[in-house]
Chain A
Amino acid sequence: MQEAQAIERIYRAEYGRVVASLVRRFGDIDIAEEAAGEALLVAVEKWPVDGVPPNPGGWLTTTAGNRAIDRIRRESRRDAKHQAALMLEDDTPHEPTGIVEDDRLRLIFTCCHPALAPDARVALTLRLLGGLTVAEIAQAFFVPETTMAQRITRAKKKIKDTHIPYRVPGPEDLTARLGAVLAVVYLVFNEGYLASSGDAPIREELTGEAIRLGRVLRQLLPDVPEVTGLLALMLLTESRRTTRVAGGELVPLHEQDRGGWDRALIAEGHDLVRACLAAGRPGRYQLLAAINAVHTDAPAAADTDWGQIATLYGQLEALAPSPVVTLNRAVAVAELDGPDVALAMVDRLPLQGYHAWHATRADLLRRLGRSAEARAAYDAAIAATDNDAERAYLSRRRGSLAP
C-alpha cells in the first residue's frame, strides 16, 4: 500500500513534465494524457518488482512516448505518413532542466489562453500541469464531475479546433498573457486557502499545487518581478496555514499562535519580496506579498507596523483600485487613526454582498461599543459566507458582544 502511495506521489509530481513534453512531441493533448495514463499502469506493475527507476520522470516520459507511438501506429494507418513525420520531428530526451521546463511553461500558457473561458483555464491547468483528476477538480470547485469533465473536454477541443498554439507568447504579448497565468495560479491557491464553501476550510492539496506551479513559473521566468511576488505572497500566506483554524473555527491574523508559523516559508518569502521589490516595478502580487511580509515580520500582533501596511495598501489602491483593497486599507487605518475613521471609509464601499465587508463593519462597530449594530453586521456576515470555520468564528464573536 505504501508503495502504491509512493508511486502515486511520484506520478503526481512528474505528471506535468511528462504531459508537457508529450504535447510538444506529438502536438496533441489527448494523446499525451492517454499515454501518460498508460505509463502509470506500467509503473504500477513494474516498479514494485524492479524498484523505482533513478529518474522516474524520464522513465515515465520514455514509456509514455513509446505507448503514444504504438497508439498512433495502431489508430491512424489512414494518415500514417503524416504521423510518421510528426514522430520524427522531435525526440528530445527527458532532462530535469532545459527544454523540458519550457514544455511546461508552454503548456501553462496554452491552458491560460485568453480564448478559453476563465473557469476552463483553471481546470485545464490543474488537470494538465497539476495532474489532478477530473473528480478532484470538480470536488475542489463544487461542481458535478460531469460538468467539470465537459468543461475540460470543451476546452481541449477548442485548443485543437482553433489551433491555439503551444507557445510562450512573444515579448509584446507576454505581460498580458502572463497576467492570466498568474491569476489562475492565485485562484487555485485562494480556493485552497479559504474554500468558498464546504466543510473543509482549507484544502492543502490546492495550496500546495499552486505553490508548486508558482515555483515552476519562477524557475522559468526568474526576472519577472510579479512572478516572484506571487510566489512570495503564496509562501507567506501558506506559512500561517496551520494556525488559521483551531477547533473548527477560523482564527484571524491577530489571534494566531505566531509560534506555529512556518519560519522556513517566511524566510524564503521575505527573501523573495526583497528580490522582486529591488527590481523597482511593483505590481499587485508584489505589494500583497510585501503586506504579508510586514505581518509575518511582527513577533506579536501588537508589534505590527500598521503605518507601513496602510502605505502599501495605498500603493495598491493607486495601482489597482478596488473596494476590497480599500476595505483592507481601512483595517490598517482603524489601528492608526481609530475605528471611527475606518468605519466611515468602510460604510462608503459598495460591498454589501461580501462577507468580509460585514465582518469588518461588525468588528469596528464592536470596538466602538455599538453592540446592536455590530450584532446585525455579524448576522449579515454569517449569512454571506458558506465556510463553516468562518461562520464558527463570527458566531463566537457575535456571542461575546456586550448586551
Chain B
Amino acid sequence: MSQYLLSVHHTPDDPMFDLTPEQIQPIFEAVDAFNEKLRAEGAWVFAGGLHPIESATTVDYTGDEPVVTDGPFSESKEWLGGFWVIEAADLDAALAWATAGSKACAGKVEVRPFQDEPEA
C-alpha cells in the first residue's frame, strides 16, 4: 500500500465561490458521504478543508532571521482548498478515489504519491 495526497485546488474564478448556501449544502453532504466511504474501506488516513487563502501566513527562516509575513508562499492564481491523504494499492486505485472525490467536492483533484518511508 502507498499513501497519496489528493488535493483540491481553487482559482479566483472558481464557480464554487458564487454558490449560495443552499447550493453548497449538497456538496458538503457528498463530501461527507465520500469520507465515510474512505473510512469504511480502510483508505482513510487524514483529510481536511482549509480556510481561504487570505488566512495564510508565511514563515521564512532560510536567512539569518525568521521573517513572518501576511499572505501565501506564492502569489499564484491557484491555491490549495483542502486535501485527503489516503492509502491505496496503486495509482489506479488512487485515481478511482480521486474520481469519486472530484465528483463529490465539485472541484479538480490532483493526485500525488508520498515518498516511501526510508527503510528502518
Closest to A172 in B: B96
Binds A, one of B11-19, B55-63, B87-95: B87-95
Asked if A78 CB lies within 8 Å of chain B CBs, one says: yes
Asked if A115 CB lies within 8 Å of chain B CBs, one says: yes
Asked if B107 CB lies within 8 Å of chain A CBs, one says: no
> Cβ of A173: which chain B residues have Cβ within 8 Å of it?
92
A78-B119, A79-B119 in contact; A161/B92 too (CB < 8 A)? no
The interface bits of chain A over 136-166 (1 if a CB of B lies within 8 angstroms of the residue's CB, else 0) are 0000000000000000000000000111110
**Contact between A162 and B119, CB atoms less than 8 A apart:** no
Asked if A169 CB lies within 8 Å of chain B CBs, one says: yes
A161-B113, A163-B2 in contact; A169/B92 too (CB < 8 A)? yes
Closest to B88 in A: A163
Whole-angstrom CA separation of A188 from B82 in the bound complex: 41
Whole-angstrom CA separation of A167 from B113 in the bound complex: 19
Whole-angstrom CA separation of A79 from B91 in the bound complex: 24
**Contact between A115 and B91, CB atoms less than 8 A apart:** yes
A-B interface pairs (CB < 8 A), number:
27
Q: How far is the CB of A183 from chain B (nearest CB, A)?
A: 19
Residue of B90, B94, B112 most packed against chain A (CB within 10 A): B90
Q: How far is the CB of B87 from chain A (nearest CB, A)?
A: 12
Closest to A170 in B: B92
Whole-angstrom CA separation of A167 from B94 in the bound complex: 15
For chain B, residues 1 to 22, give those with C-beta under 8 angstroms from any C-beta of chain A: 2
Count of chain B residues with Cβ under 8 Å from any Cβ of A? 11
A162-B113, A163-B113, A164-B90 in contact; A115/B95 too (CB < 8 A)? yes
> Cβ of B94: which chain A residues have Cβ within 8 Å of it?
162
Whole-angstrom CA separation of A78 from B2 in the bound complex: 21
Closest to A169 in B: B92
Closest to B95 in A: A115
Whole-angstrom CA separation of A161 from B94 in the bound complex: 13
**Contact between A163 and B91, CB atoms less than 8 A apart:** yes
**Contact between B119 and A165, CB atoms less than 8 A apart:** no
**Contact between B92 and A165, CB atoms less than 8 A apart:** yes
Q: How far is the CB of B107 from chain A (nearest CB, A)?
A: 19
Residue of B2, B92, B95, B112 most packed against chain A (CB within 10 A): B92
The interface bits of chain B over 94-107 (1 if a CB of A lies within 8 angstroms of the residue's CB, else 0) are 11000000000000
For chain B, residues 60 to 97, give those with C-beta under 8 angstroms from any C-beta of chain A: 89-92, 94-95
A residues with CB within 8 A of B: 78-79, 113, 115, 161-165, 167, 169, 173
B residues with CB within 8 A of A: 2, 89-92, 94-95, 111-113, 119
10 A-B pairs with the lowest CB-CB distances in the bound complex, closest first: A165-B90, A163-B90, A162-B91, A164-B91, A162-B113, A163-B2, A163-B91, A165-B92, A161-B113, A79-B119
